[in-house]
Amino acid sequence: MMWEEPIPTQPELAARFRALVEQGRPLVLPGAHDGLAALLARRAGFEALYLSGAAFTASLGLPDLGLVAGEETARRAQEIVAAAGLPLLVDVDTGFGGPINVVRTGRQMVAAGVAAVQVEDQELPKKCGHLSGKRLVSAREMAQKIEALRRTAPSLVVVARTDAAAVEGIEGAIARARIYRAAGAEILFPEALTSEGEFRRFAEAVGGPLLANMTEFGRTPYLTAARLFELGYQVVLFPVTALRVAARAMEEAYRTLREAGTQRALLSRMQTRKELYEIIGYFDYEALDERLARSELPEVGEGATES
C-alpha cells in the first residue's frame, strides 16, 4: 500500500468484506502471514486476505497449539492491514480464553483494523483442525463467545468454526452450527470435512454463508473454489499455501548457499531488487522524502533587499 493511499477504517473494511461475501462468486482468501506476503497477494489480484494461526505461529518458529496471545496476533494483523489496505479475516483460535477473554480479543482486533475474526469451539490447548485428539467446549460456551463478540465489537464479521465433524460426526457439526448461527455468527466454518458429500450435507442442512478450508496435507480433499461455490460455500481459504511454498524455497536456498558458497545458481529464481522495490513502493517513499525535505527560498517582498 503506497503512502498516499489512506488506510481504510475498520468499519469500511468490514463492510467491504461483507460485500465480497455476497458478490455472487467465491471469495478466495489466501493466507498472508506478514506485510510482504499481503502486498504480493494484493498484486496478484486478491481482494481480501486471511491471517492463519498456523502460518502466524510457524513464522514465529512455534507450533499451532494455542501458544500465541491476542496482543501478538493483533499486532501482526495491524501490520498486514497497514501494508495492503485489504479486508483481513484473522484466525483468533478459541478467542484466547473464555467468553470474558473474547471481549478483549474483539476490541483488540477492531483497534487493529481487522474486518473479520474466526473463532473455534475447541478446548485449550487447541490443536490443528486436521489432527486427532481434539476436544470441544460445550455448544453453549461457544455461543457465549459469539454473543460476546457481537455485543462488544458489532462491526466485526464473526466466523464460527466448528471442529465437531471429527469428534461428534457431521450431524454433530450441523447441530452446533445451527446454535452458533442463532448466537450471531454471520459465517459458519465446518473444519476437517472428509468428502464432497460432507460438504454438500452440511450446506444443505445449515445454509449460507459458509466457509471451506482447502488446507494442504490434511483430511479434506482438494476441491476448486468454483466447485465449493456450487456446493454452497461463499468463502474459500488457502491458509498456509504461500508460506509452505516460501518455506520450501528458503530451505533450498539455504542448502545451496551452504553447499556451493555462492548464490549464482539461485539468481534466476529470485525476485530482482527492482521488482521488490516496486512492490514495497521504495521509490514512492523516496520521492516523498525528497519533496518533504526540499528547501524553498522565502519570497522577497517589493522594496526589500536580501542581506
Q: What is the mean pLDDT of residues 139-159?
A: 97
**Are residues 125 and 135 in contact, defined by beta-carbon separation less than 8 angstroms?**
no
What is the pLDDT at residue 198?
A: 97
Whether residue 72 has pLDDT greater than 70: yes
Taking the CB of residue 300, how many other CB atoms lie within 10 A of it? Answer: 9
* Residues in contact with 8: Cβ distance below 8 Å, sequence separation at least 6, in sequence order: 16, 85, 113
Q: How is 251-279 classified by DSSP, letter by letter?
A: HHHHHHHHHHS-SGGGGGGSPPHHHHHHH
Identify the CATH assignment for 10-240 out of 3.40.50.150, 3.40.50.10490, 3.20.20.60, 1.20.1260.10: 3.20.20.60
At residue 144, φ and ψ (nearest 5 deg) are: -65, -40
At residue 248, φ and ψ (nearest 5 deg) are: -65, -40
pLDDT in tens, 6-30: 889 999 999 999 999 999 999 999 9
At residue 38, φ and ψ (nearest 5 deg) are: -65, -45
**What is this structure's pTM?**
0.92
Whether residue 98 has pLDDT greater than 60: yes
pLDDT in tens, 152-194: 999 999 999 999 999 999 999 999 999 999 999 999 999 999 9
Number of H helices, E strands in the chain: 12, 8
Q: What is the DSSP letter of 2?
A: -
- Kind and range of the H or E run holding 202: helix 196-206
Taking the CB of residue 132, how many other CB atoms lie within 10 A of it? Answer: 8
pLDDT in tens, 249-296: 999 999 999 999 999 999 999 999 999 999 999 888 878 767 766 556
Q: In the chain, what are the domain boundaries?
A: 10-240, 248-290
Grid cell digits, residue 269:
529464481
**Are residues 136 and 167 in contact, defined by beta-carbon separation less than 8 angstroms?**
yes
